[in-house]
Structure formats: structure tokens, C-alpha cells
Amino acid sequence: MRIYWDVPIEMDDGLVLRADLFLPVEEGRYPVILSMGAYGKGLAMQEGFPSAWNIMIEKFPEVAAGSTNKYQNWEVVDPEKWVPDGYACLRIDSRGSGRSPGYFDSQSAREIRDLYDCIEWAAVQDWSSGKVGMNGISYFAQNQWYVAKHQPPSLAAICVWEGFADLYRECCYTAGILNEMVANTVEMQMNTVQYGRGVNGPRSAVTGQLVCGDVTLSEEELARNRFPIRKLIAEHPFADEWYAERSADFAKTIVPLLTAGNWGGQPLHTRGNVEGFVRAASSQKWLEMHGYEHWVSFYTDYGIDLQKRFFGHFLKGEPTGWLKQPRVQLQIRHPGDTFVQRMEQEWPLARTNWTKFYLHADGGLVVDEPDSGAPKRLAFEALGKGLHFTTPPLAAPMEITGPSAAKFRISSSTENADLFLVLRVFDPAGKEVLFRGALDPKTPVAQGWLRASRRKLVPELSEVYRPYHAHDEDELLTPDVPVDLDIEIWPTSIVVPAGHRLALSILGRDFEHDEAPSGLSNMKFAMKGCGPFTHNDPADRPVDVFGGTTTLHFDDGARPYVLLPVIPAAAGA
């Protein structure tokens, strides 16, 4: 490869961003794979995210094969696996990050304007074919949604790999409940590579350059040069314009796109990918859903093949057969981290048997049979063990693939309540079957959330299987007066074996399993079943409000149920 370090890209306000450019040896014009983000282009994945790298290489040694791995960088393509195929790879440190100076304001209008300008800059360089594609995971995926709504002329295709699209609903406030992961991630993974850390930051093992610029600022100066994430989130508790600026506008998303989500990516790396596929205005869009860790599938032979067939068609005009690719490619999940690939044409699947599983006051979870008899009530301490409902052992395997929703009538002893729903599987011996999540290696099948005061729906965006909440105001409860809730449970896929039981837990706090916690080097706390996506902020969830008693009502005309996407077995299966 020809490699150019710290290529200057001047923005419309005169500030110069820095990028690393990887080109084939032969002179020519090449399509561009572009990424821009806040993790430091000079920080090797092996150094910045060692546990993630080690997990990936141990389980999928193919990732390290065929590359020196010197240029592996967190959540972006390995140029050694792309440049030989005739691509230019351009990695850009976003404003205020790595070696790019300026005020760090993650995914703001200013940052997305920079990204737009970088796309158009790349298109007119003498090494560029004029076609630019974006590829990458998480941060490098979600900003694809954000820039796509501005429709840069040279953006020919995007591959959004596990990237949320709605900063409020999928990131900062999970269904109205403050998600502590956001601020923790910014502080641990972005502020640590902020421009100006200089000699106090890491140094590139390849170039010897300081990853965070050649200027060394004090902690006070650094703090003044970045957005105060915790303060801003607290100041914006509703889905207002601040979030809209930092979220997708699917009606304006017309670029060809491949969106890839993770069944275990709740509540960050699943919903946005599915919503993007369903709602984007693009006539050329494809959905892929997989499992395993959040960062793994992107780098495997499976992931790279999918990406190269997509970009080969849209950036190079190669006969990759992409237009024959089914619109939906699913890795159907089975216990034991087993996945079976299946091609589909739509989402949700047209043949879905939407099935109501009614909650019975005796703890049963029963198909299409509301609890009979006089109205009943079940109460639980919001911060306690919750309520649990279980099916009988299944007589035959049952596939659940798609979004789910619950409809409850609840009351609270206080003026509010948070609901945490957990879809679970138990084996014939009664042991819970946990699944490898995107970040947490031991997660339940699916989860859903809702703050009761944020129960107002947006009718034009709601479906019976996926309620959509406005989150624009609080409608506080009157203590002990029941209200109706429609609760979204994020998309999932699982084939539950015969003899196993399906269960639904209703909690007033985050789910935690009974096994030993797990950890990652880039995460602040140990993980106990919901990864780093915890909801324990005392300012957002004061105990005197969210530590009361929640009551589930079994009333005539409002029997509680969960609607699950049961997929009929194929003929002859």
C-alpha cells in the first residue's frame, strides 16, 4: 500500500481535520471507503481495546489471517483487506478527536457538516473515482444515518453496521429511562483520545506519532474543549430538537444502504438497523441480522464478503450478483450460540403468526387464553424481584423472530414507574438459557422498557407489534390509579427447543442473571446481563418515586399480554 499520514482536509470554517489515507501501489482513481469518528485513528485496536481484540482473534482466527494487523483500528475496516481489491481507505479523526483540533461535540450538526464536506473532498481528489462509500461499526455507522439525510452528492452507498439511528430512544434515554452507558462511553473511550492530550495520551506503534495531537493541554483546558455530555443529557430529558439534530431522518435517506444489526445488541445495536431498513426512503436497501459480539462479524470472512459484494456493485460496478441478494438475510439464533442462515424478502416476516401470550395471575403464560374469573391484581416492589410468567414446556420447537410488544394496565403507589420487560428461556431442568450479547456474554432473549409517564404514543408511527412513543412530555400517574401501557420489546430471534419454557419477567429495575459477572477493558463496570446499559442514575430514578410498589391489573377488557412473532415451521420441518 501507499500510506499517507495526517492528510489535511480543510473545513468551511478554516479548521483542518487530519486523516490517514491507504491507497493501492499503482497510480489510479479508486472508489473510497470513508470513516470518521472519535476513537483516534492512530490507536491500534489491540492497544485501545485489548480484551475485545483477544476475544475476536481467539474465536475467529480468520480475522488476523492475511494481514499484518498493524493498521487494525477500532470499528473500521482493515485496509490490508480492502486496498488490494482496488479501494482507497480514508480514516478521519473527527473535530476535537485524535489528531484533529477543535471543539469536540460528538455527532453534532457541526460534526455532520464536517463529514459531508469530507465526503465531497474525497470525491474530487486525483486518486478518487468520485464514488464514496461509508463503512464501519457503531459510531462509524450511526453518523452514516445522520449525514445521509443531507444527501451529499458523492455518497454512493452506506454500510451501517450495528449503528443506532435515534439518539434519544436508542441511546440516551431507553424508552424514557436514562441510559448510563452513554456518558460512561464518552468518558472512557472518547475523552481519553481527545485532541490536546499530547504526551499524556497514547503514541502510535506504527508511526510514533502522538495519537492525540502534538499539543498538550491541561485537564481544565481539555474539559473546556469538549461537550459536557452528562450535563447536556440531563438538560434534555425529552425527545427534542437537540436529539433530532443528532438522529436519522429516514424520509430523506435515499442512498443505497446495507444495514446490519445484532440480535444481542439491546438496547443499542439492533433497533436502529431494523428501523432504518423499514423506514428509509431508499429504494435500494438490504437488512442483515447476526449474533456474536458487537465488533466481531464485521471483521470475519462472512462480514467482509457481504460488504465487498455490496460495495463492489455500488462503488465499482462489478458483477457481484448483489441485485440478486434477497432483501433480508437473517442468522436465525438457536441455544448454544448456533446460527442458521435464512434469506427473506421483508421485515417483519410476512408469514409471522402474531400470537398473544396472556399473563395469568397464577404465573402462567398462556397462548390466546385470557385469565378468566374476577379481576385480580399482582403487586411487586419496583426494586425487588418483580413478577414472572412462564409457559408450560413446549411440545415442539417454537421460532420467535421479529419485534414484540406488551400491553399492560398498571398502577403505582407513587407518581411514576419504570417497567423493564425481559423475555427469557429456561431448559427442562429449570436453568435459564443465556445468550451471547453484543457486549455482555450472558444476556436474555430480548428486553423492553418504558417509563410510565412517557406512555403517549405517536399513532402514525405505531404498529401493534412496535409501539412508538412520543417522549415529548411527562404524564405523571395518580398514585394507585391504573393506566394502560403499550411497551416495545426490541427485535430478536430464537428457536426455543421442545421441552424448554418461554418466560416473561416484569421488573422495576435492570435485569441481572445469577451467574458471575463479566467485563471488558473498555467498559466501566462489570456486566450482569444487560451489558453496560444500566439505568441507575439517582437523579433520573429517585428511590422515592421509582422505588414504590407497582401493580399489574387483570381487568375485564384489559387482560395483560405479550404479542410475540411466532414463525410457522417450514413444511416438512
Strand partners, 484: 409
Whether 15 is covered by a domain: the verdict is yes
- pLDDT at residue 565 tops 60: yes
Q: Read off the C-alpha cell for 421.
A: 420487560
DSSP 77-125: --GGGTGGGT-EEEEEEPTTBTT--S-B-TT-HHHHHHHHHHHHHHHTS
- Confidence band for 219, pLDDT divided at 50, 70 and 90: very high
Shared-domain flag, residues 278 and 357: no
Q: pLDDT over 90 for what percent of the chain? A: 89
For position 571, what pLDDT does the model report?
Answer: 54
Shared-domain flag, residues 200 and 53: yes
Q: What are phi and psi of 89, to 5 degrees?
A: -110, 125
Q: Read off the C-alpha cell for 32.
A: 473510497
Tens of pLDDT, residue by residue over 91-146, are 999 999 999 999 999 999 999 999 999 999 999 999 999 999 999 999 999 999 99
Whether 132 is covered by a domain: the verdict is yes
**Ramachandran assignment for 531, one of left (phi > 0), alpha (psi -120 to 50 degrees), beta (any other):** left
Shared-domain flag, residues 249 and 372: no
What pTM value is reported for the model?
Answer: 0.96
Across the range 341-360, mean pLDDT stands at: 97
Last residue of a domain, one of 236, 252, 284: 284
Shared-domain flag, residues 223 and 362: no
Tens of pLDDT, residue by residue over 254-273, are 999 999 999 998 888 899 99
For position 373, what pLDDT does the model report?
Answer: 78
- pLDDT at residue 296 tops 50: yes
Whether 131 is covered by a domain: the verdict is yes
Shared-domain flag, residues 373 and 272: no
Say how far apart CA 73 and CA 39 lie, in whole Å: 9
- Confidence band for 59, pLDDT divided at 50, 70 and 90: very high
* In contact, 535 and 418? CB cutoff 8 Å: yes
Tens of pLDDT, residue by residue over 172-182, are 999 999 999 88
Which domain does 372 fall in, by range? 353-567
Last residue of a domain, one of 284, 300, 319: 284
Per the prediction, the chain carries an average pLDDT of: 95
Whether 318 is covered by a domain: the verdict is no
Whether 336 is covered by a domain: the verdict is no
Whether 502 is covered by a domain: the verdict is yes
Shared-domain flag, residues 119 and 197: yes
Tens of pLDDT, residue by residue over 446-471, are 999 999 999 999 999 999 999 999 99
Shared-domain flag, residues 267 and 398: no
For position 572, what pLDDT does the model report?
Answer: 47
Last residue of a domain, one of 242, 267, 284: 284
CATH number for the domain that contains residue 177: 3.40.50.1820
Domain count, the chain: 2
- pLDDT at residue 438 tops 90: no
Whether 341 is covered by a domain: the verdict is no
Amino acid at 205: A
Tens of pLDDT, residue by residue over 475-503, are 999 999 999 999 999 999 999 999 999 99
Shared-domain flag, residues 415 and 268: no
**Ramachandran assignment for 372, one of left (phi > 0), alpha (psi -120 to 50 degrees), beta (any other):** beta
Helices (H), ranges, 236-318: 241-245, 271-279, 301-316
For position 530, what pLDDT does the model report?
Answer: 87
User: Is pLDDT larger for residue 522 or for residue 172?
Assistant: 172
Whether 266 is covered by a domain: the verdict is yes
Shared-domain flag, residues 79 and 209: yes
- pLDDT at residue 197 tops 90: yes
Across the range 421-427, mean pLDDT stands at: 98
CATH number for the domain that contains residue 408: 2.60.120.260
